[in-house]
A and B are shown apart, each in its own frame.
Chain A
């Protein structure tokens, strides 16, 4: 077993994502170089995880900028949905008028057909 063969997986071992097999573990136990590398990866991962607890504070004004942005988006959405609603109402009106017209035409046509034999 050579150190180079293990080098690629030591970070994953430190992460807990990979478990070493018997021969690899035996190598690490007696290889100071691999032990040092593994320890460095563990330290690196701990330091990276610790960054999670750190909060960066932006220059003032970011919160209000976000809220204004959302407010504007909300207004745009409300206007859009109002226009969509009106469009639906217009289309509904047109459809109803068309249906009423068609029904009227059918009634008229059937009445005139009924009158025709009497005239003859």
Chain B
């Protein structure tokens, strides 16, 4: 039976702990996916997800319900990931490990289109991995999760214009990596 998130949010706000647990159950994979994309590794993503739900639990009364719960969770997760990464002051680019299982929930398409999309997706994952975390966060929040510039700026602790500049740089770098430079395969063929 599909879970009605709005009902769960209302019950959880009234202090129903079971409803909050159900909310976690219904949304944690999505939250984890975002945390993983922002931090770049599983261990950090797990810490960020725990922190994010703890903040959500403590701040649920402040959730006005004018946005979707998932969007609210994305904002908290982005904020937690920024805090987490800032605390660690990492200056290396984390590697996204390959051993995670990705579940594609898109409707089925033709095998050729699927193969092409899958190849592009793989190259995109590599290109995202190569982005500096600050650029990666902005492009993921804007172009994957559709958060407005204002929200991204607020959660990352930067100005809206800085968020736009980062987005522009990130998109350009991704485009260069995906299309402008010859792929390994193409280079190998040319030799």
A residues in contact (CB < 8 Å) with B: 8, 11-12, 15, 37, 40-41, 43-45, 47-59, 62-63, 65-67, 69-70, 73-74, 77
Contacts and interface: CB of A to CB of B under 8 A. Distances in A.
Given A40-B178, A57-B103, A66-B28, A50 B172 contact: no
Given A63-B24, A69-B50, A70-B24, A56 B121 contact: no
Contacts of B102: 54-57
A51 B102 CA distance: 10
7 contacts: A43-B179, A48-B143, A50-B121, A54-B33, A59-B42, A62-B46, A70-B53
Secondary structure of the A side of the interface?
A: helix
A80 to B, nearest CB: 12
Contacts of A58: 29, 32, 36, 42, 45-46, 100
Contact of A40 (B37, B57, B103, B179): B179
B186 to A, nearest CB: 15
Contacts of B146: 49, 52
Secondary structure of the B side of the interface?
A: helix
Interface in B100-128: 100-106, 117, 120-121, 124
Contacts of B106: 50, 53
B24 A57 contact: no
Contact of A51 (B21, B28, B46, B121): B121
Given A45-B143, A49-B146, A52-B145, 19 more contacts: A43-B179, A47-B121, A48-B124, A48-B174, A53-B105, A54-B102, A54-B104, A55-B30, A56-B101, A56-B102, A57-B29, A57-B100, A57-B103, A58-B36, A65-B50, A66-B50, A69-B53, A70-B53, A70-B54
Contacts of B21: 67, 70
B33 A56 contact: yes
Contacts of B93: none
A57 B101 contact: yes
Interface residues of B, number: 45
A51 B178 contact: no
A73 B55 CA distance: 10
B124 A47 contact: yes
B144 A56 contact: no
B100 A56 contact: yes
A44 B175 contact: yes
Contacts of B57: 70, 73-74
B175 A40 contact: yes
- Greatest chain B CB density within 10 A among A8, A54, A63, A69 is at A54
